[in-house]
Structure 1
Amino acid sequence: MSYFALVAFIAIIGSLGAALYFMLRGGQDADGKTRPNHMARALAVRVGLSILLFLCILIGWKLGYLHPTGIPAGK
């Protein structure tokens, strides 16, 4: 499960980097064609991956695959 979380974090950062790349290019393709929706698509992928990661962590916790650590409740 921790490998999945690591891969998901890398994919989220990669998608954010792709959005930055498309933003800096001004919506232009390598051929010079204008394609303004690449940045929005990359950000939508990032949001989707973040939601999927959150749901997987929540389900893993409910099923007992993940155990919270840290400061115990009530102290």
Structure 2
Amino acid sequence: MKYWIIIALVGIIGSLLAAGLFMVRGGPDEQDKAKRMANALTWRIGISVFLFLTIIFSYVMGWIQPTGIPVGA
């Protein structure tokens, strides 16, 4: 499960960097530049939602357990 989360986070960061690159460099015209940037940001949102839903589903199925600071510590 850890590896899937790391892969998803790398994908999110990569998509965000691609959107920034398209914003700065772009294409031959403004329309193409905006379309490519919006597409990269759409991928980022999709990967983020998928990661969130996967974590929730894994918790419900009991595959992962919450850890952290104990109550009253």
> What TM-score do the two structures reach when normalised by structure 1?
0.86
Q: Which has the higher helix share?
A: 2
RMSD: 1.0
Unaligned 5+ runs, structure 1: none
Q: Which moved more, 1:33-42 or 1:1-10?
A: 33-42
Indicate whether 1:40 and 2:43 are aligned: no
Matching residue's letter, 2:19:
A
> What TM-score do the two structures reach when normalised by structure 2?
0.88
Q: Residue 63 of structure 2 corresponds to which residue in structure 1? A: 65
Q: Residue 22 of structure 1 corresponds to which residue in structure 2? A: 22
Deviation at 1:55, TM superposition (A): 0.2
Unaligned 5+ runs, structure 2: none
In the TM superposition, structure 1's runs of 4+ consecutive aligned residues that sit over 6 Å from their partners are none
CA distance in 2, matches of 1:8, 1:64: 20
Percent identity over paired residues:
45
CA distance in 1, matches of 2:20, 2:12: 12
